[in-house]
Amino acid sequence: MSDITDNDHALLPFDEDQASETIRRVWHEERWFFSIVDVIAILTESKVPHQYWRDMKRRMSGEGWVETQAKCLPLKMEAPDGKQRLTDAADVETLFRIIQSIPSPQAEPFKQWLAKVARERLDEMENPELAADRMRQQYRTLGYTDEWIDRRLQGIVIRDELTHEWHERGAKEGREFAALTGALHTGTFDVSASEHHGVKHIGQRQNLRDSMTTMELLLMALTEETAKELHQTRDSQGYGELHRDAGEAGEVGGATRRDIEARTGRPVVSGENYKTLRQGRQRELQSPLFSDDDAEEP
């Protein structure tokens, strides 16, 4: 499953017996990332966890620690003032390495809590429906419409199938995956992914697809499904052949987009994004015609 990058910023209880303690997390790159300073605040009871973390990064050394630091990502989470601010975050594996370097009697229960989170993730890997249900509920909480959520989840499945084809047919993750994705995206929308971020008025680290309209998601799904079909029909092997297919699939998506624009008289790529969807959904939830029972419908 893909990520709900900067949107899932719910606070989590560190321990059921310490309900007042919270750890922020975000879903990013198919896994949970946790606020490092929140973890430090609990393990050390430091009044200035940000300073503790800065000192720790300067103090620690060695190849293993450098690798650990490199895996810490600046991600947006809700700050005490209610605004979204960047903070260093780490996934479960990286957090285990960090807390091993923090002398604290509270480290063990925290490890147990992380293990529980990891267990839930493994359950979702064994039963993808659990992950889909979780994502659907999270998107609903953020105010997305059910129609949009259906398209988003469908697109995630198609994207996963396509990247599996790339991997099996010899493309390398990283630059080659990015170039193939870029060919699909630019061909479909006539703008690069970076330019598309600008149109949506979102940061480059934010997940673009979480800001796409339903039509944009449908077109992206069409292009990626076309690329997969071309790969399989031609038995394409290696980056060169896969990139050729991606270019042609982008042409299919682009032609469809231009046809839609000619018939509707409006551009498909627009500044409308998830904020608009969320505001509309919140208005529905506040409407007297929209009951609490309706909100819980699967």
Residue range 51-64, pLDDT digits in tens? 999 998 888 776 67
- Band (pLDDT 50/70/90 cuts) for residue 183 is very high
Q: Is the pTM of this model over 0.85?
A: no
pLDDT of residue 127: 65
CA–CA separation, 7 vs 36, rounded Å? Answer: 18
Question: Which residues on adjacent β-strands are paired with residue 110?
Answer: none
Between residues 66 and 249, the one the model is more confident about: 249
Digit-coded pLDDT (tens) for 232-266: 999 999 999 999 999 999 999 999 999 999 999 99
More confident residue, 118 or 37: 37
Q: Where does the pLDDT of residue 125 fall: very low under 50, low under 70, confident under 90, or very high at 90 and above?
A: low
pLDDT band per the 50, 70, 90 thresholds, residue 20:
very low
Which pLDDT score is estimated for 123? Answer: 65
Cα–Cα distance for residue pair 79/9, rounded to 1 Å: 10
Domain ranges across the chain: 5-126, 129-295
User: Is 85 in a helix, a strand, or coil?
Assistant: strand
What is the structure's pLDDT at 117? 67
What is the average per-residue pLDDT within 115-140? 71
